[in-house]
Structure 1
Amino acid sequence: MGCRTEEDMISLLPDHLLCQILSDVPTKTAVVTSVLSTRWRTIWLSTPVLDLHNHDFPNSYAFASFISRFLYFSKGSSCLHKLKLDLRFGRPIQELRNLEFVSRYLDPSYLVTQWINNAVKLQHLDILFVHPRSVDMMPLSIYTCVTLVSLKLCNVPLAASEYVSVTCHWHLVDNVYANDVFLEKLISSCPVLEDLTVVRHGETDYNLGVLRVHSKSLKSLVVDLDGNSFKYSDEDTGKAVVIDAPRLTYLSLEDYQSTSFVISKLGLSAKVNVNVSFDMDFDTDVIDSSKRSVVGTFFTMLSTVRDMTLSGTTLQVISLYLKHEPLPQFPYLIRFHAVFYNSDLGKLPNILQSYPNLKSLVLELEEFKVNEVLVLSSSSIPECLRSSLECVEIRTPIRGAVAEIELVKYFLENSAVLKNFKMCLRRGRMNEESNILMELLRLRRCSPSCEVVVQLEELKERSCESMKRYYNFF
């Protein structure tokens, strides 16, 4: 804005556009614009967004005073749509409680309650709370706020309430709930809830036992429960996730702590992303019957999905399971994205036997050793390779290892209707690249219309840069 022409042009904009511009930056930055000219001196007071970090202020008193004065003296109380607060207190509030006034004025529960209640048209509430001791901080009014569109709470203690009716998107990260039952009630009492994210990584006073998600309106659910960050006692067993959401179209499960999952009424067009371990012991080749039953039931519950992504850990579970019995059939699955450990890749044909109508396959692999052997186990060619598989992509850059060529050969020689095979070639010496390409050219292709696209790895970002003009051949 140092140029006079640019300053004059911006000054011609109406107030509501200037407010919109300032709402896209943190409030601290918006306040700084007040020194540019008289035109900007009070514009920031009418922005619909308040985005603050308490560390931007010399002390808690200055932080609290700023927000309270903003809501009182500006138009903020009537036009504020988004309140985003990063509250990280380095010492207990009781150390500041020399006076009753200071105690009340700096108490997080009191402050946040006042701020939320004053923002009568609040649509987006985003609060990160880090405090040396747990306090009941959020006002009960958030459970009945009819204007909220999205609510993101991180590390926030939530008190129980008799009545809950929130019509917004919930994003819940490492919060402290009264109990599991209240969390279930919180979710099921939102009649038009469509998007829910539940994240549990840190250690808090509350340890989630069973996550129950019951919702007739939910369309997207993300569950991220990392059990590696918890210190379990002998009583911390039998953790589970129970999902009953008949309208669910997207489900992401990343859970290393739960031992069982119950998923009912998953839609036919659902997309799932699964990274679960069932608390499995991968040092053994045997799965006991009860654990096998849990794994088999889980995949049966997912058998109606159309798009599925599985992690390397989950495929380890499947690899062990296949030593005892086959997977259930997935008749509707058309896209499969898998991250394989090399030790489990040999089971790929057996897995594909369960996907008779698969059209698209994306693989991510570990790096093979140069002479590592790959044995693809299967007594017959999977049905999808004979009749439906049209696209195969190997995203991991390959460098011409024996096992990598065998994998490429398997698909090219056995896929009858394959239209596109895409792979990424690790950048190396020109003669090495040429040798790999020549070897690929010599491979027989079952599908006469199959196009092989080889991309060249980009070294800086370890991604693949398209080189079709050189390495695109039929």
Structure 2
Amino acid sequence: MVLNFQICDNGLISQLPNHLICHILSFLSTKDAIRASVLSTRWRSLWQLVLGLDLDSLDLGLAFASSQFSTIDDFVVFVDKFFYHHRESCIHKLRLHIRTVGYVDYSSYLTKWIDAATTRRIQHLDLHCDRLFKVAVKIPLSLYTSETLVHLRLVRVILVSTKVVSLPCLKTLHLEFVKYTDETTLEKLISCSPVLEDLSIVKYTEDNARAIQVRSKTLKRVDINQWYDREYGLVIDAPLLQFLRIIAYSTKNIKIINTGLPAKVDIDANVLSILDPNDLTSRSMMRDFFTSISRVRCLVTSYATTKDIFHYMQLEPLHQFCNLTGLSVICCISSLEMLLNLLKRCPKLESLSLKLVDYKETKKAGVITSTVPSCLVSSLKFVKLEGVLFGCGTELNVARYFLENSTLLEKLTLRNDYKEKNVEHVRQTLHAIPRCSCTCTVVLL
């Protein structure tokens, strides 16, 4: 259908039928949708027809109210009216950020609202409870069997134990600071969502849990950020996985199986800092871990992870990264030789991003004596170097190494917070370095 717009006093958008204006308003928060209603008398009540509710209990500022919600009771009344008004219609989106202080259990309110949303075929549910709650909010059982839910984000709530989970349309699951009454609840949420593609977990909390089990035949993206001192294990079993990010400072046991060919892996897991060279079990675990990510195409590692990789390489050979084309590492300036040894395990590397740090290391960078990795001759095209406030000498030496030994290099970028008076000196030094690649461009940031 083609709409014929004519310019009028209220603008082109006012010529749209009500259902299209409501659709436009659905992309706004409820606060902004109510504010927009003052633009035209015709819009005065259209926000009430929007098939979604997006509210913050302390930051609404309704256009028709003198102030924000004065009490949580006002907030409850407002949400109740919304569900009453939509008792015969579907609800596409429900986002509630409840922020209050006290010992009141708000589970009864949320149970009523989530039950109502599930009945009205909810598609997107985003529930954020403030950390100042003295009584944790429990999620009702109706949520586990929603037939229409596509996106679910829960923050600071409790997921109660259930025997039945069926979420046939769920594609995105984000859980932040969520507590579980037992460790099988999370496993069921994942395994009983047959089209789940995106999983994000921040600080998994379950007193009796020993491992996070992520098993899915459809997951494409997994982001685990644990943030705690407890020592949990982590098992990833996802054959279609394309992106994996793990931050797990205390995890001793990371097991990744059946992941196919992930496009990108981002690891920040300090798992080797206490590795005993004589502990064959730990060495075997780490060997399996590196083998499981060896087919990745892009690898990002933190300083701790890079250091642990170098530690492992001193104990036994590292598996070849035969498909790796992009590598981003944070490396101490005293470990440049180990970095080159890592590059030797990456024969198809095309892009390298290297951040050099100096965490009060007593041993400074010396002359690089290692043989040139094969990727510098056959595949490396882009190098980005970044230093952290310890002078430009080391970065220039590393830049010199890549310029003099990289046959196919197209661009080398050097970034640092140089003092203004040193910038021209650095630029002249870079320009004077002989280059193995005649097409290489040097960029100084």
For the superposition of Structure 1 and Structure 2, which TM-score range results when normalised by the shorter chain?
A: 0.7 to 0.9
Give deviations 1:304-358, integer Å, cap 9, x for gaps.
1111111111011112222222311111111111122334344210111111111
CA distance in 2, matches of 1:244, 1:398: 41
Q: Retained in 2: the 8 A contact 1:45–1:76?
A: no
* CA distance in 2: counterparts of 1:269 and 1:175, whole angstroms: 27
1:53-452 equivalent positions in 2, closer than 5 A: 53-56=56-59, 57-73=69-85, 75=86, 78-93=89-104, 107-118=108-119, 120-130=120-130, 131-135=133-137, 137-166=138-167, 167-168=169-170, 169-200=172-203, 206=207, 208-227=209-228, 230=229, 232=230, 237=231, 239-278=232-271, 280-281=273-274, 288-366=279-357, 373-375=364-366, 379-396=370-387, 401-424=392-415, 426-430=417-421, 432-449=422-439, 451-452=440-441
Deviation track 1:178-210 (CA, whole Å, cap 9, x = no partner) reads: 211221122111111111111117xx6746530
With over 3 angstroms needed to count, the CA separation of the structure-2 counterparts of 1:413 and 1:178, relative to structure 1, is same
Taking the aligned partners of 1:266 and 1:421, their CA distance within structure 2 comes to: 33
For the residue of structure 2 that corresponds to 1:454, the secondary structure is strand
In the TM superposition, residue 285 of structure 1 has moved relative to its aligned partner by: 9.6
Change (3 A) 1:62 1:111: farther
Deviation for aligned residue 1:444: 1.8
CA deviation after TM superposition for structure 1 residue 253, in Å: 0.9
Corresponding position of 2:27: 24
Tell me which moved more, 63-72 or 35-44.
35-44
TM-score using structure 1 length: 0.82
Structural RMSD (CA):
2.8
Shift of 1:224: 0.8
The answer as to whether partners of 2:200 and 2:223 remain within 8 angstroms in 1 is yes
Q: Per-residue CA shift, 1:112-156, capped at 9, x if unaligned? A: 3343235x1311000012321234x22222222121110001111
Q: 1:412 to 1:374 in 2, by over 3 A?
A: same
Query: Secondary structure of 2:424's partner?
Result: helix
Q: Report the alpha carbon displacement of residue 300 of structure 1 after superposing the two structures with TM.
A: 1.2
Deviations 1:259-308, CA, capped at 9 Å, x for gaps: 11111122225311111111624xx9968444333222211111111111
Moved more, 120-129 or 14-23: 14-23
- Secondary structure, counterpart of 1:78 in structure 2: coil
Q: Structure 2 counterpart of 1:72, which letter?
A: Y
Over 3 Å counting, the alpha-carbon distance change for 1:153 and 1:14 in structure 2 is: same
Whole-angstrom distance in 2 between the partners of 1:452 and 1:211: 46
Distance 1:150 1:90 in 2: 28
**How far off its partner does 1:17 sit?**
3.1
Distance in structure 2 (CA, Å) of the matches to 1:138 and 1:67: 17
- In 2, the alpha carbon distance for the partners of 1:302 and 1:258 equals 17
Count of matched residue positions in the alignment of Structure 1 and Structure 2:
425
The verdict on how the C-alpha distance between 1:147 and 1:79 changes in structure 2, with shifts beyond 3 A counting, is: same
Tell me how far apart the structure 1 counterparts of residues 386 and 392 of structure 2 sit (CA, whole Å): 15
> How many angstroms apart in 2 are the aligned matches of 1:76 and 1:10?
28
Identify the residue that residue 65 of structure 2 maps to in structure 1.
none
Structure 1 residues without counterparts, runs of 5 or longer? 95-104, 457-474
User: What are the superposed Cα offsets for residues 59-84 of structure 1, whole Å, 9 maximum, x if unpaired?
Assistant: 222211111111212x4751421100
The question of 1:51 aligning with 2:54 is answered yes
Contact 1:251-1:272 at 8 Å conserved across structures: yes
SS in 2 for 1:93: coil
Identity of aligned residues (%): 36
Is there any run of 5+ residues in structure 2 with no aligned partner, and where? 1-6, 60-68
Instruction: Tell me how far apart the structure 2 counterparts of residues 190 and 215 of structure 1 sit (CA, whole Å).
Output: 8
TM-score (norm: length of structure 2): 0.87
2:225 and 2:248 in contact (8 A); partners too: yes
Q: In the alignment, is the contact (CA less than 8 A) between 1:389 and 1:415 conserved in 2? A: yes
Q: Report deviation, 1:245.
A: 0.6
Asked whether the equivalents of residues 266 and 300 of structure 2 are also in contact (C-alpha less than 8 Å), the reply is: yes
- 2:18 counterpart residue number: 15
Contact 1:397 1:424 in 2 (8 A): no
The one-letter code matched in structure 2 to 1:391 is: F
Give, in whole Å, the separation in 1 of the partners of 2:10 and 2:444.
Answer: 47
Deviation at 1:445, TM superposition (A): 1.5
Shift of 1:14: 2.1
Contact 1:173 1:199 survives alignment (8 Å): yes
**1:175 Cα shift?**
0.9
Amino acid at match of 2:33: A
The answer on whether the counterparts of 1:347 and 1:377 sit within 8 Å (CA) in structure 2 is: no
User: Which amino acid letter does the alignment assign opposite residue 165 of structure 1?
Assistant: S
Distance in 2, Cα, partners of 1:180 & 1:86: 26
Contact 2:121–2:147 (CA<8 Å) still a contact in 1? Answer: no
